[in-house]
Amino acid sequence: MSSDDAYAAFLDKANEDPSGGRADRTNGAHASGANGANGLNGNHPGVSQTEVPQRLVTAARDRFYVSDSDEPWVPVSYGIGEASSLPTEGLNKPADSITILDPVDWDSQGQYKPLIDELRVESKGNDVRVYRVQIDSVRVEYWLVSHLDGNLLGYKAKAVES
């Protein structure tokens, strides 16, 4: 085999989809930096990661939160036990660093409407909220979430707002 053929084979292998076309079962939470220092995450008592619905994975594909950093929307799903509504307190951050926003007011241009619509369908019409979590003076996380059957599900995106 020539070195050109070997190099072409190497490039083909390097460009393969590492997931083999399967949905990400880790929910992107570990890879995207979800840890106890941030707001909503799986490191809260009684919260555990659950499988992300395929509808949310598909809707988030190639969608980005537009800010100074243009980060991708990452689908998330966490088990929150018997909770019948979205959390309003106890989110691992001081209350003044978390702002709860109405999705319609937050997305007044309709840029994220496809994500909101898919989340409403997946959560069977339950309330959808946007949590803005201030990480530091310029870094923010946006959590677009709803709930269904003891699961908090939706999307999160990191942003830089200078």
User: Are 34 and 42 in contact, with CB atoms under 8 Å apart?
Assistant: yes
Confidence of residue 70 (pLDDT cuts 50, 70, 90): very high
pLDDT of residue 79: 86
pLDDT of residue 124: 94
Q: Which domains does the chain have, with CATH numbers?
A: 24-160 (3.40.1460)
Backbone angles phi, psi at 126, to 5 degrees: -65, 160
DSSP at 96: G
State the Cα–Cα distance between residues 81 and 93, nearest whole angstrom: 20
Has residue 157 got a pLDDT over 90? yes
87 or 76: which leads in pLDDT: 76
Has residue 161 got a pLDDT over 50? yes
Task: Give SS3 for 54.
Answer: helix
Nearest CA to 59 out of 121, 13, 17, 107 is that of 121
Average pLDDT over residues 30-39: 38
76 or 18: which leads in pLDDT: 76
Confidence of residue 6 (pLDDT cuts 50, 70, 90): confident
Confidence of residue 37 (pLDDT cuts 50, 70, 90): very low
Nearest CA to 91 out of 52, 122, 132 is that of 132
Confidence of residue 55 (pLDDT cuts 50, 70, 90): very high
pTM of the model: 0.68
DSSP at 33: T
Confidence of residue 88 (pLDDT cuts 50, 70, 90): low
In sign, the C-alpha dihedral spanning 106, 35, 134, 81 is positive
User: Are 69 and 162 in contact, with CB atoms under 8 Å apart?
Assistant: no
State the Cα–Cα distance between residues 133 and 3, nearest whole angstrom: 51
Task: Give SS3 for 6.
Answer: helix
